Amino acid sequence: MEKLTFSFKNTKPVQHPVHVGVVASGDLEVIFKPTTSKETTLHIVTGSDGFKEVWQNVLTRFFERYPLLADIEINDFGATPGVVNLRLTQAMEALNNEE
């Protein structure tokens, strides 16, 4: 079990909380909450230790395309980078649908 924290200087504030994904092996839960901060902060709890650099890469690539400003919590159960990227995409779609 490892706890990771990342922050990104993002610009596009989210207006609603969203929660996607599931507690299941090879998957993850992603929770976006609106924030008053000027930075996006991610708190990640992961069952797979030693992948900080992989997380950094997946998150950087995602936020370069979609600079969402939010407080983000992730509970990871050994998801692959492909699954992480799709869950982030799905959270973003859920935000767009509510607007």
Partner 1 sequence: MELLPHDLIKLGAIKNLKEFERLAQWAKLSLVRAPWVVVRRGYQSAGMVPVGIRGNLRNERQSAMVSEQAIVGKVSPFDLVLNKMWLSVNSSRKTLPVFQALDAIAPIMRDFSWGIGGSCGYELVSGVPMAKVSSDLDIIVQNFPKVSVNEAQKLLSELNQYGVHIDLQVVEGQNGFSLEEYAHNRSQTILMKTEKGPQLVPDPWER
For the bound state, the minimum distance from the C-beta of residue 39 to partner 1, rounded and expressed in Å, comes to: 26
Is residue 25 within the footprint of partner 1 (CB under 8 A)?
yes
Is residue 47 within the footprint of partner 1 (CB under 8 A)?
yes
Instruction: Give the number of other Cβ atoms within 10 Å of residue 40's Cβ.
Output: 24
3-state secondary structure of 31: strand
Is residue 22 within the footprint of partner 1 (CB under 8 A)?
yes
Name the pairing type of β-strands 40-46 and 28-33: unpaired
List the structure tokens of 83.
Answer: 């699954």
Residues that bind partner 1 (CB under 8 A): 18-27, 47-50, 78, 80, 82-83, 86-87, 89-91, 93-94, 97
